[in-house]
């Protein structure tokens, strides 16, 4: 039955031609390769939970009188967007769980994408032939950040509404075209003609997800075409890939990872409250709340807005507003340099060869130190988005906290660079440094003497290093085994050997 179905399909789509190579695709075993998988799986969670949310969310700014399940605002005028988000939260069964999962998944998606990016950066995974895929990845991050911002703006609550107001000002600050961009997108000067929530909605649920899906396909397509990079483990060379084949080992592990990622997201959605919009209330342009922080991935931009000195450029009849520098120029430079980095490094080092073996970060001290310093700069900006909260908690003056961050943005990268460089250089002198240490057990024998034996890495797991076997040779192996068994059986090939059954 299954055979017939397979034959029917295969005769028409020729799956077996080339499909075998796919089954045999080798995935290197290194924990850091899972970071991209987290991003992929949280994106799937985003799609699934997002579809659920679109079934109930009403993307409209029209005002209605609220008579829903949340009694404290019964009878008040709220927008349909806000009211329907409250309905998802309090009336739709499982709605709050799905909403919180969606929000958590967005944070995890961008978080894992950033950590994945750092892994690629510090190990040199962006080098030829993967420069294009690096650029695709950077664009995925940008789209993810945009979609995250649009997503948390949709409920029309007081916190996100303030964010939309700031977004309008940022758009407005663009030289030459700013006022046109802003009024076109919003349908007039802020808050526009009621167009912004419906527009954000269609961009957030259709246009950007489609763009992300397209880029993601390109990202993974190129991954298959290039095959994986790998660390210099035994047997790993520039002209091979060492690891586990897609079918069935990697498939099992990655499916496991999908369930673990989703499971963690569900648990967060269940017990960790996120974006309680009923506490913030409906957005009104003249209202604002204290300690307004955006989602974490916007933090560096908010921090940059805060630490920027109060400068503007005044030209005859024109001006370049203050927010342009931290909110347009800074991200513009950031993502341009990010995308250009493979070419910058290629130019500086003169190293234009193909690289499939990854660097250990310590072996490239300049790159590592540069990456650490740049990351430290954005981390300080991220911290600066909490100046008001820090001043409050630490009982310091806002003035002191702000100036501290202004100085830290410059000082921290300058300090981090030489420190990271020095650590790399020191580690280079310790070949075994960073290797997992196996614990030793002290055993007393019946005669009373003591001896030391290495503990098992995992209970029941043998740690011996094995030479890789060419996965494409398994076919001839299968034939050989069948011949040896003399009856066409191929036991022992990719099966648990008999003694373990």
Partner 1 sequence: MSDEQGPPVAPERDAEGLVSPDSPQFQVAAKHPQRVERTTAVLFLASLVGFVGFGIAYTQNGSTQWLGLTIGLGMLAFGFAMAAWGKFLMPRGPFEEPRAPMATTKEEKEAFVSDFATRGKVAVERRSFLVKLMGAAAAILGIVAAFPLIRSLGPLPGKSFYKTAWRKGSYLTTIDNRRVKVGDVEVGGVLTVFPESDVGGAISQTILVRPQTTAIVTKPGRESWAPQGYIAFSKVCTHAGCPVGLYEEQVQQLLCPCHQSLFDIYAGAEPIFGPAPRPLAQLPLFIDSSGYLRAQAGYDEPVGPGFWERGGTT
**Cα separation of 323 and 315, whole Å?**
16
Look at residue 52 and give its three-state secondary structure.
helix
CB of 11 to partner 1, least distance (A): 27
91 binds partner 1 (CB under 8 A): no
Tell the burial category of 133 from Cβ atoms under 10 Å away from its Cβ (0-12, 13-18, 19+): buried
Question: In sequence order, what are the residues at sequence separation of 6 or more whose Cβ sits closer than 8 angstroms to the Cβ of residue 322?
Answer: 173, 308, 310, 311, 312
Phi-psi region of 492 (alpha: psi -120 to 50; beta: other; left: phi over 0): left
Contact flags string 38-77 toward partner 1, x per CB under 8 A: ----------------------------------------
* Residue (384 or 416) nearer to partner 1, CB: 384
Residue 112 binds partner 1 (CB under 8 A): no
Q: Does 24 bind partner 1 (CB under 8 A)?
A: yes
Q: Which of residues 240-259 bind partner 1 (CB under 8 A)?
A: 240-245, 248-253, 255-259
| Contact call for residue 278 and partner 1 (CB under 8 A) | no
- Residue from 14, 62, 454, 489 touching partner 1 (CB under 8 A): that is 454
Q: Kindly state whether residue 289 participates in binding partner 1, applying the rule CB under 8 A.
A: yes
Which of 17/318 has CB closer to partner 1?
A: 318
Q: How far apart are CA 482 and CA 334, in angstroms?
A: 59
3 state DSSP class of 320: strand
Nearer to partner 1 among residue 462 and residue 487 (C-beta): 462
Q: Measured over all CA atoms, what is the biggest interatomic distance in the chain, rounded to whole angstroms?
A: 96
Alpha helices in 128-157 (DSSP H): 131-153
Smallest distance, Å, CB 119 to partner 1?
20
- Residue 331 C-beta-side C-alpha neighbours within 13 Å: 21
Compute the least distance from the CB of residue 25 to partner 1, in Å.
7
Supply the minimum distance, in Å, between the C-beta of residue 215 and partner 1: 20
The 8-class DSSP code of residue 442 comes to E
With beta carbons less than 8 A apart as the criterion, state whether 326 and 305 touch: yes
Residue 488 Rama label (left phi>0; alpha psi -120 to 50; beta): left
What is the closest distance, in whole angstroms, from the C-beta atom of residue 30 to partner 1 in the complex?
12
Q: Which of 55, 291, 442, 447 binds partner 1 (CB under 8 A)?
A: 291
Which of the residues 315 through 374 are near partner 1 (CB under 8 A)? Answer: 315-323, 326-327, 354, 356
- Please identify, using beta-carbon distances, which residue of 110 and 307 lies nearer to partner 1: 307
CA distances from 442 to 439, 454, 463 (A): 10, 9, 19
Rounded distance between C-alpha atoms, residue 406 and residue 306, angstroms = 9
Which span (48-56, 200-208, 412-420, 461-469) binds partner 1, by CB under 8 A? 461-469
Smallest separation, CB 266 to partner 1 (Å):
3
Q: Is 474 exposed, middle or buried (0-12, 13-18, 19+ CB in 10 A)?
A: middle
What CA–CA distance (Å, rounded) separates 31 from 205?
32
Q: Segment 386-405, which members bind partner 1 (CB under 8 A)? A: 387-388, 398-399, 402
Nearer to partner 1, 114 or 305 (CB): 305
Angle at 185 between CA 323 and CA 149, to 5 degrees: 60
Cα–Cα distance measured from residue 382 to residue 304, given in angstroms and rounded to the nearest whole number: 8
Q: Which of 55, 393, 429, 467 binds partner 1 (CB under 8 A)?
A: 467
Considering only residues 140 to 169 of the shown chain, the ones binding partner 1 according to CB under 8 A are: 162, 165-166, 168-169
CA 477/CA 493 separation, integer angstroms: 8
Residue 170 binds partner 1 (CB under 8 A)? yes
Q: Is 306 in the site for partner 1 (CB under 8 A)?
A: yes
Residues that contact partner 1, how many (by CB under 8 A):
147
Q: How many CB atoms lie within 10 A of CB 461?
A: 7
Closest distance to partner 1 from the beta carbon of 140 (Å): 21
Asked if 276 touches partner 1 (CB under 8 A), the answer is no
- Shortest reach from residue 359's CB to partner 1, in Å: 18
Interacting residue with partner 1 among 11, 238, 426, 428 (CB under 8 A): 238
Q: Which is nearer to partner 1, 173 or 368 (CB)?
A: 173
Beta-strand pair 318-320/313-315 = antiparallel
Instruction: Out of 309, 350, 431, 488, point to the residue binding partner 1 (CB under 8 A).
Output: 309
Nearer to partner 1, 12 or 435 (CB): 435
Q: Please report how many Cα atoms fall inside a 13 Å half-sphere around the Cα of residue 102, on the Cβ side.
A: 26
The crossing angle, in degrees rounded to 10, of helices 131-153 and 95-123 is 150
The smaller minimum CB distance to partner 1, of residues 1 and 466, is found at 466
Tell whether residue 496 is a contact of partner 1 (CB under 8 A).
Answer: yes
- Please report, as residue ranges, which positions from 428 to 447 form the binding site for partner 1 (by CB under 8 A): 432, 435, 437-440
Considering the complex, state which of residue 91 and residue 375 has its C-beta at the smaller distance from partner 1: 91
CB of 2 or CB of 315, closer to partner 1: 315
Subset of 178-237 contacting partner 1 (CB under 8 A): 178-180, 182-193, 195, 225-227, 233-235
- Answer yes or no: are the C-beta atoms of 58 and 84 closer than 8 Å: yes
Helix, coil or strand: residue 197 = helix
């Amino acid at each position: 039955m299954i055979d017939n179905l397979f034959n029917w399909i295969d005769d028409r789509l020729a799956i077996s031609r080339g499909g075998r190579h796919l089954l045999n695709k080798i995935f290197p075993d290194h924990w850091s390769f899972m970071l991209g998988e987290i991003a992929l799986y949280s994106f799937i969670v985003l799609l699934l939970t997002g579809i659920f949310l679109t079934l109930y969310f009403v993307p409209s700014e029209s005002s209605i009188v609220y008579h829903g399940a949340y009694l404290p605002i019964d009878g008040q005028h709220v927008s349909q967007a806000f009211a329907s988000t409250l309905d998802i939260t309090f009336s739709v069964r499982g709605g709050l769980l799905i909403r919180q999962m969606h929000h958590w998944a967005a944070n995890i998606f961008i978080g894992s994408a950033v950590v994945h990016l750092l892994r690629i950066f510090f190990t040199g995974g962006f080098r030829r032939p993967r420069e294009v895929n690096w650029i695709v990845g950077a664009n995925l991050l940008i789209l993810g950040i945009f979609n995250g911002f649009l997503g948390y703006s949709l409920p029309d609550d007081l916190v996100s509404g303030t964010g939309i107001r700031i977004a309008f000002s940022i758009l407005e600050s663009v030289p030459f075209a700013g006022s046109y961009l802003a009024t076109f997108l919003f349908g007039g000067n802020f808050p526009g003609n009621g167009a912004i929530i419906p527009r954000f909605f269609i961009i957030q649920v259709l246009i950007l997800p489609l763009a992300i899906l397209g880029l993601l396909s390109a990202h993974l397509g190129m991954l298959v075409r290039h095959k994986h990079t790998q660390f210099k483990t035994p047997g790993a060379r520039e002209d091979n890939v060492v690891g586990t084949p897609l079918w069935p080992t990697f498939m099992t592990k990655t499916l496991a990872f999908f369930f673990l990622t989703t499971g963690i997201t569900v648990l967060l959605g269940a017990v960790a409250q996120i974006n309680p919009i009923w506490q913030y209330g409906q957005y009104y342009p003249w209202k604002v709340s204290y300690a307004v922080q955006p989602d974490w991935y916007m933090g560096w931009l908010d921090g940059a807005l805060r630490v920027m000195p109060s400068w503007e450029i005044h030209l005859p009849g024109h001006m370049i507003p203050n927010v342009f520098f931290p909110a347009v120029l800074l991200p513009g430079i950031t993502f341009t340099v990010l995308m250009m980095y493979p070419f910058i490094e290629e130019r500086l080092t003169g190293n234009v060869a193909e690289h499939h073996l990854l660097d250990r970060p310590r072996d490239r001290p300049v790159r590592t130190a540069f990456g650490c310093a740049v990351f430290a700069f954005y981390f300080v900006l991220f911290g600066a988005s909490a100046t008001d909260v820090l001043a409050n908690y630490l009982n310091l003056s806002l003035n002191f906290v702000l100036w501290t961050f202004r100085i830290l943005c410059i000082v921290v990268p300058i300090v981090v660079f030489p420190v990271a460089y020095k650590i790399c250089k020191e580690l280079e002198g310790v070949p075994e440094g960073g290797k997992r240490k196996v614990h030793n057990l002290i055993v007393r024998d019946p005669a009373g003497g003591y001896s030391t034996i290495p503990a098992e890495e995992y209970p029941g797991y043998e740690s011996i290093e094995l030479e890789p076997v060419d996965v494409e040779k398994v076919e001839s192996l299968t034939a050989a085994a069948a011949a040896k068994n003399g009856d066409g059986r191929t036991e022992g090939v990719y099966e648990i050997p008999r003694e373990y059954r």
